[in-house]
Chain A
Amino acid sequence: MDYLSQLENRSIYIIREAYSQFRNIALLWSIGKDSTTLLWIVRKAFFGEIPFPVIHIDTGYKFREIYTFRDRFVKEWNLDLVMSRNDAAIEKGMSKECGHLECCNELKTEALKKTLSERGYKALLLGIRRDEHGIRAKERYFSPRDASFSWDYQNQPAELWDYYASGDKSDHHLRVHPLLHWTEVDIWQYVKRENMPVVDLYFARDGRRYRSIGCEPCCEPVPSSAKNMRMIIRELEKSRIAERSGRAQDKEDPYTMQKLRSLGYM
């Protein structure tokens, strides 16, 4: 079996483990390349359908292209879309000027808390990968969170072979990370192989492209001439620049990501 198929088969196994245990789960779709890949693989795992809702955390600051892409594929793939917004904070004018940690925490983590308390999902599927960030590299495939969403990273449960946490009664929900073992290049090779749609912000225009997308004010494009998937793969195989180098929340302080994640950030 080729390498991409090995990665895909493992991810399908993990997705089905989560669904078989809990049924009441949801997928977190940021509309970026990773969570779109996850969504694609979930459709494969369940023969063309997604038997649970897809949550989009809308901060109001996302790129226009992200909203367009979302609306198109919600229809095309027949998704049960759940919008997650912290309207109170948006109305109060929360923005990156209040501090990245504060802004991400309010507009993303707090919005998600609200959605979870309304809907009671027992597990959330997320498209994070180990190679994105040293803190994400410390994750388990199944990672328990309490009601305040905190990640007890100093005392994670044992996770042996393909045996995953079964959901402790004291857990609020589980974060499930079916793409944890994929790298950025793996994702692009897979996107190309599957001829999967992605937001066109990833492709170079006027000598620049986005390697990682989220809220528009906090994403910087990188210099690049990669206009298509093949060129992106070639660029990444040579690149020595970090994937999230254009993401503001990674840069402010070396431990911002750790702090954000310990508070329940993705």
Chain B
Amino acid sequence: MKKNVIKLVFVGHVDHGKSTLIGRTLYETNSLPKEKYDEVKQISAELGKDAELAYLTDYLQEERERNITIDTTQIHFKTRKNNYVIIDAPGHVQFIKNMLSGASQAEAAVLLVDAQEGIKEQTRRHAYLIHLLGIENLIVVVNKMDLVGYDPDRFYEIKTDMIDFMHRLSLKPIHVIPTSARSGENITKTSSKMSWYGGPVFTDSLDHIKQNKQNPNAPFRFPVQDVFFKDDRNIVLGRVEVGSVERNQQLLVLPDGYNTSVREVVRYGEKRKSAQAGESIGIVLENHNDIKRGMVLTQQDQIPIVSDEVDGTIFWMDEDPLHRGDDLTLQCSTQVASCHLRAIEQRIDSSTLHILEENGKIIGPNEVGKVIFKLAKPIVFEPFSQVPELGRLVLRRGDSVYGAGIVNSVQQTASEKR
């Protein structure tokens, strides 16, 4: 069976109707078992409400009682053309780490704006985070049009403001759609109440999302996950992140910088000569001086930069601010290194995009920083814009992830060997 599965995250300010839009979409596309709707009806009645479609994803008792999405969830649905995984993300600022957990899995985003309330703090922040995560496919839904009497002027006002804001982030929505998720207007059927709107209904707009295709000529990158000893040989475990690899290919082991070649490409139960991007495989090397997790196998030309200094844009999630000079643990793919926050070139309000401070001292909760890290040892980086798989960072303080970011550029350093 051939199937195209697109991962779609729903974001936007708290209470602008994300879970309701998801519930309505699932309901109108007949995507869920009947008993789930019966259950939602029953629970809504117990809480003294009409059937609350948001409960299809807001499954925690606390979520239903507080009418708020706390954690991200995923659910499947299909249109005639595609299959989708819907990722519901919480809109409350308190749960932004859950929003990011959901959004980092997505390849496209639906950003909701309440027609009555208009653009709010999390609307802009979520748009910025979507941009930081590198998601280019974006659909804007102006929801709750019923509350503004389906007024076209209000819709166009919000649409213009949204497009202006997104322009600053170099984002361009595929469509901007007026809807009422609660009443089912423009979800799967064209609304007679908004005949002034000539664009596609919500579910049709999703079919215009273009899936990102990996560049087939990208250079081979294989971060080592582990080494497994089997049948008298060391098998290097990992996933081909980009490019491809074949038997006898000459490779370079980074950051050490020695040469080797591929003796075998191993997949259990298959005879293999090569492997492609996305495949979790084993590689047996001709020589492997103490190879271990955190090293990266690459081809011998078009090599990445190995550096102990990196420029990044990071988002900080912890209540305790990050200070210039702080020591953290940085992870990039399977590589982990202690790092020192050497400089905060810019401290940015992630909702207004205002620069709060140049050459700053701290990055507060939910703020963005353009920063420079100095690492305890050199590791392999690529700019996120070129090879996202080796340009994503998470930052730990102690054992917990409190920051996430992307690599902007990498400094060549003296410790770099080639």
Please, how many angstroms separate the alpha-carbon atoms of A16 and B228 in the complex? 10
Inter-subunit contact A1/B278 (CB<8 Å): yes
Inter-subunit contact A245/B33 (CB<8 Å): yes
A20-B293 contact given A12-B280, A158-B317, CB 8 Å threshold = yes
Interface size class of B (residues with CB under 8 A): 35 or more
Inter-subunit contact B280/A20 (CB<8 Å): no
With a cutoff of 8 Å between Cβ atoms, the chain B residues found around residue A181 in the complex are 74, 85
Inter-subunit contact B71/A130 (CB<8 Å): no
Please, how many angstroms separate the alpha-carbon atoms of A48 and B228 in the complex? 12
Distance in angstroms from A174 CB to nearest chain B CB is 11
Inter-subunit contact A138/B71 (CB<8 Å): yes
With a cutoff of 8 Å between Cβ atoms, the chain B residues found around residue A56 in the complex are none
- State the total of A-B contacts with C-beta under 8 angstroms: 147
Residues 41 to 64 of chain A near chain B (Cβ within 8 Å): 43-49, 51
Inter-subunit contact A46/B30 (CB<8 Å): no
Residues 154 to 188 of chain A near chain B (Cβ within 8 Å): 154, 156-161, 163, 165-169, 181, 183
Inter-subunit contact A47/B43 (CB<8 Å): no
Inter-subunit contact B399/A20 (CB<8 Å): no
Q: Give 1 or 0 for each of B229-268: 1 = CB within 8 Å of chain A CB.
A: 0110001011100000000000000000000000000111
Residues 193 to 245 of chain A near chain B (Cβ within 8 Å): 239-242, 245
Selected interface stretch from B59-67, B163-171, B370-378: B59-67
Distance in angstroms from B302 CB to nearest chain A CB is 23
Query: Chain B interface mostly helix, strand, loop or mixed?
Result: mixed
CB < 8 Å neighbour of B33 from A19, A169, A242, A254: A242
Distance in angstroms from A47 CB to nearest chain B CB is 5
With a cutoff of 8 Å between Cβ atoms, the chain A residues found around residue B230 in the complex are 46-47, 49
B154: interface (CB < 8 Å): no
The total of chain A residues at the interface (CB under 8 A) is: 53
A77: interface (CB < 8 Å): no
With a cutoff of 8 Å between Cβ atoms, the chain B residues found around residue A130 in the complex are 73-75
B179: interface (CB < 8 Å): no
Q: List the B residue with the shortest CB-CB distance to A46.
A: B228
Distance in angstroms from A118 CB to nearest chain B CB is 25
With a cutoff of 8 Å between Cβ atoms, the chain A residues found around residue B231 in the complex are 47
Q: List the B residue with the shortest CB-CB distance to A163.
A: B394
Selected interface stretch from B94-102, B138-146, B201-209: B94-102
Residues 305 to 329 of chain B near chain A (Cβ within 8 Å): 317
A-B contact pairs, 17 of them (CB 8 A): A1-B276, A3-B3, A3-B5, A5-B279, A6-B278, A16-B225, A16-B280, A44-B268, A45-B268, A138-B71, A156-B101, A160-B401, A161-B104, A163-B394, A165-B401, A166-B399, A242-B35
